[in-house]
Chains A and B, each alone.
Chain A
Amino acid sequence: MELWHHSHILREKVDRNSLLVQGNRACALGALDAGVRFFAGYPITPSSEIMETMAHELPKIGGVFLQMEDEIASICACIGASLTGEMALTATSGPGFSLMQEALGYAIMVEAPLVVVDVMRAGPSTGRPTTPSQGDVLQARWGTHGDHPAIVLAASNVVDMYRLTMAAVHFAQRFRTPVTLLADEVVGHMRESFSPELVGRYRLTSGDFELDEGFLHPSMVREVHPPHTLGKGQDPHVTGLIHDSTGFPTNDPEESERFLRDLYDKVVNHRDELCLYDLVNEDKGRACVVAYGSCARSARAAASAAQEQGLQVEVLHLYTLFPLPVEIIQRVARRVEFMLIPELNLGQYAREVRKFAENWTTVISMGKIDGNLISPDEILERISQLLGKYESV
């Protein structure tokens, strides 16, 4: 990929003579390689390394780095920059993500491209800043008030932090909306080998996910109202009030409903493009583990171990959590006896999957909130229990 020629990630390896890259750092480098040139943020464990990398790297390429006075100022400054055509990204954790919710709703309403990285720590509130969690999943979907769509991705390793950040930028620009990238704390802080080959080899369905040279200026999907970049001769009016295609506020019931439904449809009508996943051992198992983030790695390892024991288990490794990948979930649900969903929360995503899968299969939630990861052994044990329980006819 010609992309690698000026890539930050390649320079990382060459300059540092090191094979290990931290997840948070990979995220920042992915952002830079995807064309992010504006970062405004606020320190918070465990995401601060993303900000620190941006502080070092953005000035070298003429980008804007700002540490703002709080998370609200950060996301607002990012939206401001986005409205002028600069690709903006911010990074935070639970408490900061909570503060940003109102502004995220604004970004959705005004169709501003933006990426928010939430490196999740145990919550609620101050919680446990240095331990992993997946507790912000439903907040990422519904945190801001009102009816709105959401694009939410989840990273499971360092390579994901790099390429899903690039994917997030691509989706944000193509769908003109904020995209949230979730990462469990451990994914942000772990160090793993990184190489262009790993990124290239890591295949996603919905076709190979290839970012070409033009990803910075992708073709946009049908928009609710015309693009309104400030300073480009249109003198646009940008508002968070429900508005019509002129951009000005409207109280008309028909116009209002059409606007909100169009905002929604803009995302959900493109599930085929947005829903990224890997399906391991496709069509081989009586059971499927549906997982994302750190749990997906444990799930894959559990599936490998199970295979050695003669048990076939599928793994639906989700990279896109929302819009909900209904099609693949239902396709798998139709043929398996149960779906096991390990999560570092009290079953937030399991609830969503169950809604769409329970007609065909049993959805079992496996939630853990003690600050520790779910291990491959724990998943394997649960699967064995369940497979023993559900004897094949």
Chain B
Amino acid sequence: MAGTLIPGETAPEVDRYLHTDRLPHIWCPGCGIGTVLGAFLRAALALDLQKDKTVVVTGIGCSSRAAGYLDFNTVHAIHGRALAFATGIKMAHPEFTVVVLTGDGDGAAIGGNHLIHACRRNIDLTCLLFNNSTYGMTGGQLSPMMDMGEHASTAPYGHTERSFDLCGLAQAAGATYVARATSHGVGRLERLIKDGISHRGFSFVEAVAQCPTEFGKRNRPRDPAAMLEDLRRKSVSVKQAEKMSAEDLEGKIVTGLFHRDTETAEFSSSYQSLLESVRDGQ
């Protein structure tokens, strides 16, 4: 099947990056994780990622289960710590392409501190965070990315906390490539992931996705197609958002590239330079 890949269509060529014998996967019908993973696979294909030199590190959660289906060097690590594992892997072998797949709970709750410091170090990793604002694997408990009033198994009367802007956090902490897209806008998502992997520095890509089962059963809309339509309806581009008031931005999902900085020193390179200067000084 020669020719250009049409964004949004998973081509059989991506099978080379999948353990097809481990399929079918565990994700629910209508889950957005597969869609986001498809975008990642097409980005990997477009970049011709070498399996042997690519390491995918995941935490614990529905999205982190991707590690078992991907045919790269894969590390299914412990809850919240994928970025710490990835830092050790990258610093031991800076020539590896290291991608971290994490969820909103894994990456922003228990893993929040490691996210902050990976951004701060600007270490050449790509962090793809699957945000479905729930802890799906464990039965739909609340997540720091849930909004006020939404329901979860541990917020049966309605959530009383706010979520926060993960992209804002990543940028403030020092990430040099920060972007967001949704499982509806797969074309954009694929492009952002591809550019994020190519970017030399810490790339943070938030992929907002739907969970029609654990989240959907307690909130509206619950039908996966309706949830996707909801994502589409709420999405505004970075450019559009610049012209909107804080009030109008309420409940909106701003998508696109927020920040790209190719000047700031990347951590593993800085360390190699340090090694050279120490060696020369001896």
Task: Please give the residue numbers on chain A whose beta carbons come within 8 Å of chain B beta carbons, in ascending order.
Answer: 38, 40, 59-60, 62, 64, 66, 68-70, 72-74, 76-86, 88, 102-103, 106, 230-233, 235-241, 248-249
Judging by beta carbons under 8 Å apart, are A70 and B85 in contact? no
Judging by beta carbons under 8 Å apart, are A64 and B52 in contact? no
Chain A residue numbers with a CB within 8 Å of B96 are 84, 230-231
In the A-B complex, the 8 residue pairs with the closest CB atoms: A80-B88, A77-B88, A76-B84, A239-B76, A80-B85, A81-B92, A73-B84, A81-B88
Chain B residue numbers with a CB within 8 Å of A62 are 275, 279
Distance between B150 CB and nearest chain A CB, rounded to angstroms: 30
Judging by beta carbons under 8 Å apart, are B274 and A235 in contact? no
Q: Which of A84, A237, A248 has the most CB of B within 10 A?
A: A237
Distance between B127 CB and nearest chain A CB, rounded to angstroms: 15
Interface size on B, residues (CB 8 A): 38
Judging by beta carbons under 8 Å apart, are A248 and B87 in contact? no
Q: Among the listed A38, A60, A74, A83, which residue makes an inter-chain contact with B75, where contact means beta carbons less than 8 Å apart?
A: A83
Judging by beta carbons under 8 Å apart, are A231 and B55 in contact? yes
Judging by beta carbons under 8 Å apart, are B279 and A103 in contact? no
Judging by beta carbons under 8 Å apart, are B117 and A73 in contact? yes
Given A77-B85, A237-B68, A69:B74 Cβ within 8 A: no
Chain B residue numbers with a CB within 8 Å of A249 are 68
Q: Among the listed B22, B52, B75, B274, which residue makes an inter-chain contact with A233, where contact means beta carbons less than 8 Å apart?
A: B52
Judging by beta carbons under 8 Å apart, are A238 and B75 in contact? yes
Is B53 an interface position by the 8 A CB rule?
yes
Judging by beta carbons under 8 Å apart, are B275 and A237 in contact? no
Judging by beta carbons under 8 Å apart, are A240 and B77 in contact? yes
Judging by beta carbons under 8 Å apart, are B55 and A248 in contact? no
What DSSP secondary structure best describes chain A's contact surface? Answer: mixed
What 1/0 mask marks residues of chain B from 169 to 189 whose CB sits below 8 Å from any chain A CB? Answer: 000000000000000000000
Task: Please give the residue numbers on chain B whose beta carbons come within 8 Å of chain A beta carbons, in ascending order.
Answer: 19, 22, 51-53, 55, 57, 67-68, 71-78, 81, 84-89, 91-93, 96, 113-114, 116-117, 271, 274-275, 278-279, 282
Judging by beta carbons under 8 Å apart, are A230 and B81 in contact? no
Nearest opposing residue in chain A for B70, CB measure: A237
Q: Among the listed A69, A78, A239, which residue makes an inter-chain contact with B88, where contact means beta carbons less than 8 Å apart?
A: A78
Judging by beta carbons under 8 Å apart, are B113 and A76 in contact? no
Chain A residue numbers with a CB within 8 Å of B72 are 235
Q: Which of A88, A239, A241 has the most CB of B within 10 A?
A: A239
Chain A residue numbers with a CB within 8 Å of B78 are 76, 102-103, 106, 240
Given A59-B275, A240-B76, A248-B68, A81:B89 Cβ within 8 A: yes
Alpha-carbon separation in the docked complex, A86 to B52 (Å): 17
Alpha-carbon separation in the docked complex, A74 to B279 (Å): 25
Judging by beta carbons under 8 Å apart, are B74 and A237 in contact? yes
Judging by beta carbons under 8 Å apart, are A239 and B67 in contact? yes
Chain A residue numbers with a CB within 8 Å of B282 are 60
Judging by beta carbons under 8 Å apart, are A80 and B271 in contact? no
Distance between A24 CB and nearest chain B CB, rounded to angstroms: 22
Chain B residue numbers with a CB within 8 Å of A80 are 57, 75, 84-89, 92
Nearest opposing residue in chain A for B55, CB measure: A230
Judging by beta carbons under 8 Å apart, are B92 and A84 in contact? yes
What DSSP secondary structure best describes chain B's contact surface? Answer: helix
Alpha-carbon separation in the docked complex, A236 to B276 (Å): 32
Distance between B75 CB and nearest chain A CB, rounded to angstroms: 5
Q: Among the listed B55, B73, B113, B278, which residue makes an inter-chain contact with A70, where contact means beta carbons less than 8 Å apart?
A: B113
Given A84-B93, A249-B68, A235:B73 Cβ within 8 A: yes
Judging by beta carbons under 8 Å apart, are A38 and B88 in contact? yes
Given A238-B75, A248-B22, A60:B278 Cβ within 8 A: yes
Chain A residue numbers with a CB within 8 Å of B117 are 68-69, 73
Alpha-carbon separation in the docked complex, A241 to B64 (Å): 13
Alpha-carbon separation in the docked complex, A232 to B67 (Å): 18
Q: Which of B92, B117, B282 has the most CB of A within 10 A?
A: B92
Judging by beta carbons under 8 Å apart, are B84 and A64 in contact? no
Judging by beta carbons under 8 Å apart, are A235 and B51 in contact? yes
Judging by beta carbons under 8 Å apart, are A68 and B84 in contact? yes
Alpha-carbon separation in the docked complex, A231 to B81 (Å): 21
Distance between A276 CB and nearest chain B CB, rounded to angstroms: 29
Judging by beta carbons under 8 Å apart, are A81 and B91 in contact? yes
Chain B residue numbers with a CB within 8 Å of A236 are 73-74
Chain B residue numbers with a CB within 8 Å of A237 are 19, 67-68, 74, 76
Given A64-B91, A76-B81, A77-B88, A69:B73 Cβ within 8 A: no
Add 7 more A-B contacts to A76-B78, A85-B92 (CB < 8 A): A38-B91, A38-B92, A59-B278, A60-B279, A73-B81, A231-B55, A249-B68
Distance between B86 CB and nearest chain A CB, rounded to angstroms: 6
Judging by beta carbons under 8 Å apart, are B92 and A86 in contact? yes
Alpha-carbon separation in the docked complex, A66 to B121 (Å): 11
Distance between A57 CB and nearest chain B CB, rounded to angstroms: 10
Distance between A340 CB and nearest chain B CB, rounded to angstroms: 41
Alpha-carbon separation in the docked complex, A334 to B226 (Å): 76
Q: Which of B72, B77, B116 has the most CB of A within 10 A?
A: B77
Given A62-B279, A235-B51, A248-B22, A230:B75 Cβ within 8 A: yes
Alpha-carbon separation in the docked complex, A81 to B74 (Å): 14
Chain B residue numbers with a CB within 8 Å of A79 are 85, 88
Given A84-B92, A103-B81, A231:B53 Cβ within 8 A: yes
Chain A residue numbers with a CB within 8 Å of B279 are 60, 62
Chain B residue numbers with a CB within 8 Å of A74 are 84
Chain A residue numbers with a CB within 8 Å of B92 are 38, 64, 80-81, 84-86
Distance between B204 CB and nearest chain A CB, rounded to angstroms: 17
Judging by beta carbons under 8 Å apart, are A69 and B114 in contact? yes
**Can you identify 30 A-B contacts, CB atoms within 8 angstroms?**
A59-B275, A66-B88, A68-B117, A69-B113, A72-B81, A72-B84, A73-B113, A76-B77, A76-B84, A77-B87, A77-B88, A77-B91, A78-B88, A79-B85, A80-B87, A80-B89, A81-B88, A81-B89, A230-B55, A230-B89, A231-B96, A235-B71, A237-B67, A238-B76, A239-B67, A239-B68, A239-B75, A239-B76, A248-B68, A249-B68
